[in-house]
Amino acid sequence: MNRIIRIIFLDILKNKIILAYTIILGILSWSSFGLEDNSAKGLLTILNIILFTVPLVSILFATIYLYNSSEFIELLLSQPIKRKKIWLSLFLGLSLSMILAFFIGAGIPLLVYSADSVGLMMLVVGCLISLVFVALAFLSSILTRDKSKGIGIAIMSWLYFALLFDGIVLFLLFQFSDYPIEKAMVAVTALSPIDLARIQILLQLDASAMMGYTGAIFKNSFGTSLGLLISFLLLCSWVIIPFFISLIKFKNKDL
Amino acid sequence: MKIVLYICLLFSSLLYANVIEVGPTKPIKSIKKAISLAKVGDTIMVHQGLYKEGNIIINKKIVFLGKNLPVLDGQKKYEVLSIKADSVVVDGFKVIKSGYATLEDPCGIKVYNRNDVVIQNNVLDDNFFGIYIQNGRRCIIKNNRLVAYGTEEQKLGNGIHCWKSDSLQIIGNTISGHRDGIYFEFVTNSIIWRNISTRNIRYGLHFMFSNDDAYISNIFKNNGAGVAVMFTKNVKMFNNFFEENWGDAAYGLFLKEISDSYIIGNKFSKNTSGIHMEGTNRIQVEKNVFEANGWGMKILASCSDNVIKNNNFLGNTFDISTNGSLVLNTFNNNYWDKYEGYDLDKNGVGDVPFHPLSLFAVLTETNPSAMLLFRSFMITLLDKSEKILPSITPDNFIDNSPLMHSLAL
């Protein structure tokens, strides 16, 4: 298994795209941190990277990589290796390289300029978001054999989580504003990994505003150590569940 | 020559006042006895020790001095020190454990309808009310340290409580753990200077119906609801620090029905709301720093003719918020760190006006739960388009001359 991971990992590193991704993240982060004396602008830039760029690149790159390496996968399948092992090492290789890219590109400037609770939270959440969207890529690529369809599904799911979901939540908020929906809304956010990530960062970044009335509800739901644990577990389940479904499908797939 | 000598003698006998010493090792062991022996103008020097004498009433003009912080214990039953004479000086005592009653408000030290009383260098620990000036004039409360430990508003009194007084000076006191740190009701022409009021259950400073007062260079930090100034005119608030007042109804500075006042040179940092204004008129908000607050200023539509100029708004979640579309206030020459305009003529003033009110601030005002979506990409997009084409936010909520660089404040 380790050897397969190594092969995939090296193959991805040879692929210049991940290198470019790392460099772009690095340029964005370093320049936005260097722009002003306080780290606020830089943190906001990285927040937007985590909520927008990281999911997009992770899901698209992973999906396309999976489709392109279908022949390699078939070759591996002809060997006496368990299907589970192949799929898992593919996942580990891909997610490891995505996390590494995020860590070098955005993580190091974060640690240099803002090595406090906000920076650490962003680092952890950014890595988790990379993992979540690699897992979603595995799911979307196993759903269909058609490459263009698979990439379409990947883009759609990114659009849904990054934009549409918030639109729906906003709509719900205003439609049901006469009802006490704060707690229900807290539950609804569990349905989107990006929202979970965003709120965790928000609680660190906008601590003063979060002390207000509704902020207090979120603080009580997410900000306590139990809430923190639950939202991290939820984020992890966003990694595990899509990957697990894809694994079952891969095991039973007629290639 | 003889006459001069006689006059000198006469004056020196007048000037000469007795010092009555009280202490465990002195002939007089009771403070009450010393007061009964004292004549007007005498000094009572109390030496170190613990004095449990119930309610001590000072009803003569005397100087009441403590040496090495003698402890006056109210045993949770009595008001400790009642001052019922003009021009009394109380200096250097440790007053602890006053009684608790809802009708009489027993205090550590209370002044009853008297003038020119000086209360200084005392430590007040675990009292119901700390220092209470009732209908006093020209009193000075200076360099005292007040601490209380209650957790419920009903069971706690105020640190320094002043009612229906005039020309008071509250200087250099440290107050924590009381209900309101400093409380002013019907107090006029007074000054509150260089006090530190922290961790009080309700307000750091509570101000009602008190005209023509000034508070300068105080620190209000971490109080339950910040500072409230209500139903008052002509208040001057200069160079104070309002910090870390966190909570739903907590404000750095809460203004209600205030007019003709000045808020200059203050620093508001890390409050849920820096300033909350309700029904305020003709106030100058100048040269203040708003930093890392949830809301820099909340200006409700009931405010009019306020001028907000030359302030720095740095790193607030929302700089300004309001609850209506009516704007009767002016914003000028402020520095907003969220300003994205340009300055082609390089005169330090941005060429495009700044709309300090973000769409999202309006959304959360009508629907607080929307806070859940803050900083989401969708909202950022909506905010950007609203900045260019204001439709929901009032388009006259505007700073026409935003500064390009922050002011050195």
pLDDT surpassing 80 at residue B118? yes
The alpha carbon of residue B298 is apart from the nearest alpha carbon of chain A, in Å, by 12
**Which of the 8 DSSP states describes residue A207?**
T
pLDDT of residue A158: 94
User: For chain A, first and last CA: distance in Å?
Assistant: 21
Interface contact flag, B294 A174, Cβ < 8 Å: no
Distance, CA of B261 to CA of B275 (rounded, Å) = 14
Mean pLDDT of chain A: 87
pLDDT bracket for residue A16 (50, 70, 90) = confident
- Give the residue with greater pLDDT, A217 vs B86: B86
What's the rounded mean pLDDT across residues B135-159? Answer: 91
Nearest-Cα distance to chain A for B104, in Å, is 36
Residue in A147, A208, A158, A194 with CA at minimum distance from that of residue A58: A158
Residue of B150, B151, B214, B161 lying closest to B184 (CA atoms): B161
The CA distance from B89 to B79, in Å, is: 18
Q: Do A173 and B271 touch (CB under 8 A)?
A: no
User: Using CB atoms within 10 A of its CB, is residue B190 exposed (0-12), middle (13-18) or buried (19+)?
Assistant: buried
Report the share of chain B in percent with pLDDT over 90.
64
- Answer yes or no: are the C-beta atoms of B179 and B158 closer than 8 Å: yes
User: Is a pLDDT exceeding 60 seen at residue A68?
Assistant: yes
Nearest 5 degrees, angle CA B291-CA B295-CA B300?
130
How many angstroms separate the first and last alpha carbons of chain B?
63
Instruction: Tally C-beta pairs within 8 A across A and B.
Output: 101
A186 inside 8 A of chain B by CB: yes
Hey, where are the domains in chain A? 2-252
Q: Tens digits of per-residue pLDDT, A105-149?
A: 999 999 998 888 888 999 999 999 999 999 999 999 999 989 999
Burial of B13 (0-12, 13-18, 19+ CB in 10 A): exposed
A11 touches chain B (CB under 8 A): no
The residues, ordered by sequence, that sit 6+ positions from B301 with a Cβ below 8 Å of its Cβ are: B322, B323, B324, B325, B326, B327
The answer to whether A172 contacts chain B (CB < 8 Å) is no
The domains found in chain B, sorted by start residue, are: 15-388 (2.160.20.10)
Nearest residue, CB atoms, B246 vs list A163, A186, A208: A208
Is residue B140 scored above 60 in pLDDT? yes
Tell me how close the Cα of B299 comes to any Cα of chain A, in angstroms: 16
Kindly state the percentage of chain B with pLDDT values over 70: 96
pLDDT tens digits, residue range B332-380? 999 998 888 889 988 999 998 998 888 888 888 888 778 888 888 888 8
Q: Contacts of residue A212 in chain B, CB cutoff 8 Å? A: 247-248, 272, 294, 368, 371
CB-nearest to B372 from A51, A174, A189 is A189
- Reported ipTM: 0.76
Q: Do B368 and A186 touch (CB under 8 A)?
A: no
Average of pLDDT values for A205-225? Answer: 69
Asked if A206 and B369 come within 8 Å (Cβ–Cβ), the reply is no
Q: Are residues A170 and B337, on separate chains, in Cβ contact within 8 Å?
A: no
What is the model's pLDDT at position A215? 62
Q: Do A213 and B248 touch (CB under 8 A)?
A: yes
Question: What is the pLDDT at residue B16?
Answer: 62
Please tell me which residue of chain B has the smallest CA distance to A170.
Answer: B370
Interchain CB contact of A38 with B (< 8 Å) = yes
Alpha carbon distance A182, A193 (integer Å): 19
Test the B interface: residue of A171, A211, A221 with most B CBs within 10 Å: A211
Does the pLDDT of residue B10 top 70, yes or no? no
- Integer Rg of chain A from CA: 19
Q: Using CA atoms, how far apart are residues A29 and A23, in angstroms rounded to an integer?
A: 10
Q: B248 at the A interface (CB within 8 A)?
A: yes
Residue A254 has pLDDT above 80, yes or no: no
- Model pLDDT, residue B278: 93
By C-alpha distance, the chain A residue nearest B243 is A208
